[in-house]
Amino acid sequence: MIKSLLDIEIDCLLSAITERYGYDFRNYARASLKRRIQNYLTVSDCNHVSELIPKVLHDKECFAKFLSNMSVTVTEMFRDPLVFKSIREDILPKLKTYSRINVWHAGCATGEEVYSMAILLEEEGLLGRAHIYATDFNAKSLATAKEGIYPAENVQLYTRNYLKAGGKSSFSDYYQANYESAKMKDSLREKITFASHNLISDQVFAEMNLVLCRNVLIYFDKVLQDRVLELFSDSLVSRGFLVLGDKEAIKYSIVKDDFEAVSERLKTYRKVLHV
């Protein structure tokens, strides 16, 4: 099949970015990446994707803008509350026997789900011996996550989600309210390490009991999905848990035999014992 002109331009742009900055988008799911690039084109003053190439190569600020447009940050606290309820009821009880519990939140974006996880651990009496590693490749998102300050207008939704996720206390216990913002409590933040990590190029960095990576894999092509799932499998201890986004089944993937479903519907999995 003959490549379209647009695809040629996009290939050139992605190669240029990989070589110049080390961010490799070449194995992203192409259809949605293409759409995001085209949308970025309409807000830039370029008519063709190829015109973006010199701009992102020579102008670091232009690249930073491009980067934040390419990475996805749609998230909320206790997004898909039933998943968090299942983590609380089906997964955390099985982690209680460990003296130290390592949680990796991969692709944490602006951090809402990381604080959600910390709250769950706190309410189940596990936060003291837990540590959450929250990683993303997007420095801007990570800075927001580290601050832990969110618009007050979102608190109502978060509170509803918290209750649906089986919240045991009051969501307002976990933040300091201001007129316009809610700042997450330091006691939660102390147990979280926010760090830059690129799922495409970086390696495993610690043994994990629980890995969460939600709605990140949908943006990767099949090859990259498999590679990242293998990374998670390698990172997990025997009988460790993996939580994916609610459309991210592992049944078509290379690691499907490494895991059993805790709940196939909620996309929660547990690593099997290998004989």
Q: Per rule CB under 8 A, is residue 156 in the interface with other proteins? A: no
Name which position in 102, 110, 135, 225 contacts other proteins (CB under 8 A).
225
Minimum CB distance to other proteins smaller for 144 or for 253 = 253
Stretch that binds other proteins, among 55-63, 132-140, 155-163, 218-226 (CB under 8 A): 218-226
Q: Per rule CB under 8 A, is residue 133 in the interface with other proteins? A: no
Name which position in 218, 227, 254, 261 contacts other proteins (CB under 8 A).
218
Q: Per rule CB under 8 A, is residue 29 in the interface with other proteins? A: yes
Stretch that binds other proteins, among 106-114, 155-163, 230-238, 242-250 (CB under 8 A): 242-250
Name which position in 43, 74, 273, 275 contacts other proteins (CB under 8 A).
74
Name which position in 62, 152, 249, 261 contacts other proteins (CB under 8 A).
249
Shortest CB 35 distance to other proteins, Å: 7
Shortest CB 238 distance to other proteins, Å: 27
Q: What is the CA radius of gyration of the chain?
A: 20
Q: Per rule CB under 8 A, is residue 158 in the interface with other proteins? A: no
Stretch that binds other proteins, among 11-19, 24-32, 57-65, 124-132 (CB under 8 A): 24-32
Instruction: Give the per-residue SS3 of the chain.
Output: CCCCHHHHHHHHHHHHHHHHHCCCCCCECHHHHHHHHHHHHHHCCCCCHHHHHHHHHHCHHHHHHHHHHHCCCCCCCCCCHHHHHHHHHHHHHHHCCCCCEEEEEECCCCCHHHHHHHHHHHHCCCHHHEEEEEEECCHHHHHHHHHCEEEHHHHHHHHHHHHHCCCCCCHHHHEEECCCEEEECHHHHCCEEEEECCCCCCCCCCCEEEEEECCCHHHECHHHHHHHHHHHHHHEEEEEEEEECCCCCCCCCCCHHHEEEEECCCCEEEECCCC
Q: Per rule CB under 8 A, is residue 71 in the interface with other proteins? A: no
Which pair of tokens denotes residue 171? 């969501």
Binding site for other proteins (CB under 8 A): 1, 4, 29-32, 34-36, 72, 74, 215, 217-219, 221-222, 225, 247-249, 252
